[in-house]
Amino acid sequence: MSWKDKTCFIDLDGTMYRGDELIDGAIEFIDYLIAQDIPYYFITNNAMRTHAQNREKMERMGFHGIRDEAFFTSAMASAAYAKRYLKGNKAYYIGQEGMKEALLEQGFIIDEQEADHVFIGLDVHASYEQYCKAFNLIQKGATLIGTNADRRLPHGDGYRIGNGAIVAMFQYASESEGLIIGKPNEAMMKEALSFAHVDASHCVMIGDNLETDILFGIQNQVETIFVTSGVHDEHDAKRMDIQPDIIVHNLKELI
């Protein structure tokens, strides 16, 4: 079976763009999927944006024809997983509008005093006091749930600190491992497949990060396409002994 016969799970940061910079070949690839009627979803560890904010960001870069429903974030997966498997519907969160939207969509009540769960997503405006409030709730028994464990995020010519570093801070301070939901974890795949109404054997994962995107596919029996436009390159694949099914330098090579 060719990857063109499958549903494409596509990463965003480092695959479609770096920060606010468009990656060459990304628009052409999405236009090709739309023209060929190949189903696709953007599966991202970035928990900051809402459905609409994700679409609007891509439209500003020149993408068109993308639906709000095409985005599945680690915030959505975390909220869905907690709703499905954990008790309690009161939540506190570190995060932005995407985290809040995901929690409300799953029926959680935002409670700063008696939260059952504390969700940790990246918030570039979070304060020390917010961190302390989240920490204290975890100390009182709330479940620590990290939306993802990304080490770093591609941005321009460099990188920014990823949510994984923030989650690690809470794990260290609270002496609690908690739960990590985002790529490459199985929980993220289960929720993504449920969201897309598709089986793993009929998907292909496309991304730039070997530790998240490519391991996400490998560990969950999904075919992988590695594009060297973001965090890692071919030398990293050999060094880390992570072998994708297909390697490309530009997504236009797949057209």
C-alpha to C-alpha distances, 117 to 81, 114, 131, 251, nearest whole angstrom: 12, 9, 14, 39
Options 5, 11, 208, 241, the catalytic residue: 11
Options 5, 13, 123, 241, the catalytic residue: 13
Digitized pLDDT (tens) for each residue of the chain, 255 residues in all: 689 999 999 999 999 998 889 999 999 999 999 999 999 999 999 999 999 999 999 999 999 999 999 999 999 999 999 999 999 999 999 999 999 999 999 999 999 999 999 999 999 999 999 999 999 999 999 999 999 988 887 777 788 898 999 999 999 999 999 999 999 999 999 999 999 999 999 999 999 999 999 999 999 999 999 999 888 888 999 999 999 999 999 999 999
- Say whether 13 is catalytic: yes
pTM of the model: 0.92
- What pLDDT, on the 0 to 100 scale, is given for residue 1? 60
- Say whether 236 is catalytic: no
Q: Which domains does the chain have, with CATH numbers?
A: 3-73+184-254 (3.40.50.1000), 87-180 (3.40.50.1000)
